[in-house]
Amino acid sequence: MSKIALITGATAGIGEACAHVFAREGYNLILTGRREDRLNKVASYLNDKYNVEVTAMSFDVRNRAEVIENLNELPAEWKNVDVLVNNAGLSQGLDPIQKGDIDDWETMIDTNIKGLLYVSKVVSNWMIDNGKGHIINLGSIAGKEVYPNGNVYCATKHAVDALNKGMRADLLPFGIRVTAVHPGAVETEFSEVRFKGDRERAKKVYDGFEPLIAQDIAETIWFVASRPAHVNINDLVIMPTAQATATNIFRH
């Protein structure tokens, strides 16, 4: 049977681009996300184009019971996951700590940290049983630096950075690879989500320079996943050429 990649947050952006790249490389896919219609479209497109098998599962990674039930209900052959891309995540708001919206904070913490943990707990046990696996976590430059008004989003991505190291240490005896990929600015729906549908404000984030695109990250993730079994890339920071740090972007 072909290899299997499980990609969370495959309805848009980096996750969707990863789904395309892994399908192109012949992987069967388990794709997740909340927007069922989009998920099904991606799944049937990839099934037609690359002749790979795709299982689409719509659930909210914040809902612990839903995550566990949906994943456990997969047939045994689908639990033979080779690569897990922990991609589902988001930012909500860009405000100083004293003005932050507590609901936004909880959404980010529940999605970026707790959701990633729920999925990882289930899938890492499959990988241990299967004697193989690679977990690739989407961190961020926001997990390496803290920028003004980024407070809670940055904290969630610092947590991903720490969990990435912790997972690697814990899964080492089982030969399971663990990698974090930390992008700078990637033009996806990320800023639209952060600014709650304000497209004009979202577009301004990428004004005057060439940001990364989702495909850049997907190809990098594929590079990480396709190294020989004895090679693990621990940590990879990838930025637009015009971006030196989280806040230092050279705009024309």
| Closer CB to ligand 8X3, 163 or 171, in the complex | 163
**What are 134's strand-pairing partners?**
83, 177
Residue 133 interface partner, choices ligand 8X3, ligand NDP, none, CB cut-off 5-8 Å depending on type: none
Tokens 């404000």 correspond to 201
Supply the minimum distance, in Å, between the C-beta of residue 175 and ligand NDP: 26
Kind plus residue range of the DSSP H or E element containing 236: strand 235-238
Supply the minimum distance, in Å, between the C-beta of residue 180 and ligand 8X3: 12
Residue 246 interface partner, choices ligand NDP, ligand 8X3, none, CB cut-off 5-8 Å depending on type: ligand 8X3
Supply the minimum distance, in Å, between the C-beta of residue 145 and ligand 8X3: 8
Q: Please give the positions annotated as active site.
A: 153
Dihedral sign for Cα atoms in the order 137, 138, 144, 147: negative
| Closer CB to ligand 8X3, 128 or 242, in the complex | 242
Q: Is 8 helix (H, G, I), strand (E, B) or coil?
A: coil
| Closer CB to ligand NDP, 165 or 196, in the complex | 196
Supply the minimum distance, in Å, between the C-beta of residue 12 and ligand 8X3: 14
Residue 7: exposed, middle, or buried by beta-carbon count in 10 A (0-12, 13-18, 19+)? buried
Q: Is 237 helix (H, G, I), strand (E, B) or coil?
A: strand
Kind plus residue range of the DSSP H or E element containing 41: helix 36-50
Nearest Cα to Cα of residue 250 among 184, 200, 199: 184
| Residue ranges in contact with ligand NDP by CB under 6 A | 9-15, 33-35, 60-62, 87-90, 111, 115, 138, 140, 183, 185-186, 188-190, 193, 214
**What are 32's strand-pairing partners?**
57
| Closer CB to ligand 8X3, 68 or 238, in the complex | 238
The whole-angstrom separation of Cα 165 and Cα 168 is: 5
Residue 108 interface partner, choices ligand 8X3, ligand NDP, none, CB cut-off 5-8 Å depending on type: none
DSSP state of 249: B
| Residue ranges in contact with ligand 8X3 by CB under 6 A | 140-142, 150, 185, 246
